[in-house]
Structure 1
Amino acid sequence: MALGKPFVVAARLSAALALLGAIAVLCADLPARAAPEAAARASTGGRSIVAMRVIDGDTLFDTAAGVRYRLENTVAADPGDRSTCASERDEGARATAAAEQLVGRARILTVTPTGRYDSAGQALAFVTLDGRDLGELLMAQGAARPARARAMPWCDAPGDLLL
């Protein structure tokens, strides 16, 4: 018995719909898998956290864009050769380590430039890690102080100055 043309067309259409349904089922979770990666890219202007390097406790460098950002709301002691005294050097190293640890654990890093610059020409910005302000996290750990607070007495101890 020969099948009519309408039956063949219906069978092909049915097979095509079944194939489309299978493709839809297989692809249903693709947006869910892509969402975290897209959110990370969007939150850093299209750059990943890997592109952000901690310079010190209050400064980050966007290696992809070549821009240094200093935290708007926080000041940390200077580490290394920029230190005036041993206490400042030690506090600066601690602040840098704390910032590196926090940035290293973050899944999403967001930089929000304020449009202002510090005296060294660095862009001032607020930085959030997984929705939490980096400056506030550093202050909570005692690794930094509020930017507009009275100066920290890092080098007040007698004989602490580096020559």
Structure 2
Amino acid sequence: MRVLRLAAAAAAGLALVACQAERLPAERGEGGPSVAERVSVLSGDTFIVDGRGVRLANAFAPEPIPRARCWAEALAAKQAARVVQQMMREATSIEVKPTGPRDEYNRQFAIVTLSGLDLGQTLYDEGLAGRPGTQRFPWCDPISKNAPGAPTIYSLMELKPR
């Protein structure tokens, strides 16, 4: 009997939580959830948007731990993810334009636009991502502005060249 009462109490508690969760969007007004509430940032170039896996088609961010090949790559990955999270918090809109293929984890490659800004291009311009290519960008190698697809060195500094 005690087990039945505990089960009934647990079911009632779960039902209450579910009802409250369903009411939240209505209380927020017609605008619905914010971009940051709709998106989970997995890494600088990989997200869950409205429950769907998405990977940037036009930028390749460094890999986080445990796939990072060195501390420099792990730190660069952390910085890229932080910047993307901040951009998601500030964005008023998000648009995901699939480009066709999917990655090995069945995530859709897409061009992601935040408040009209191309996220992949922005990450590349800021030195936080390389251009996608046939092989993984060598984040652990010495910096070289001659490396194909590499972000420009000035993008790692505060000041842009004249």
| TM value normalised by structure 2 | 0.62
Match of residue 141 from structure 1:
126
Instruction: Tell me: CA distance 1:150–1:83, structure 2 relative to 1, closer, same or farther (3 Å).
Output: closer
Match of residue 17 from structure 2:
none
Deviations 1:47-96 (A, max 9, x none): 7521111110001112x43x110000000001121212111101111111
Distance apart, 1:151 and its partner CA: 4.7
Q: Distance in 2 between matches of 1:115 and 1:151?
A: 20
Preserved CA contact (<8 Å) 1:116 1:123:
yes
SS at match of 1:124: strand
How many pairs are equivalent?
A: 113
Preserved CA contact (<8 Å) 1:80 1:93:
no
Deviations 1:96-147 (A, max 9, x none): 1111111111001111122310123211111001111000111111111111
Match of residue 101 from structure 2:
116
Preserved CA contact (<8 Å) 2:93 2:114:
yes
| TM value normalised by structure 1 | 0.62
Gaps of 5+ in 1: 1-32, 42-46, 158-163
Gaps of 5+ in 2: 1-28, 143-162
**What value does the CA root-mean-square deviation take over the aligned residues?**
2.3
Larger helix proportion, structure 1 or 2?
A: 1
Match of residue 89 from structure 1:
74
Q: Distance in 2 between matches of 1:149 and 1:133?
A: 22
Preserved CA contact (<8 Å) 1:77 1:144:
yes
* The one of 53, 58, 71 aligned to 2:45: 58
SS at match of 2:66: helix
Q: Distance in 2 between matches of 1:150 and 1:124?
A: 16
Amino acid at match of 1:59: T
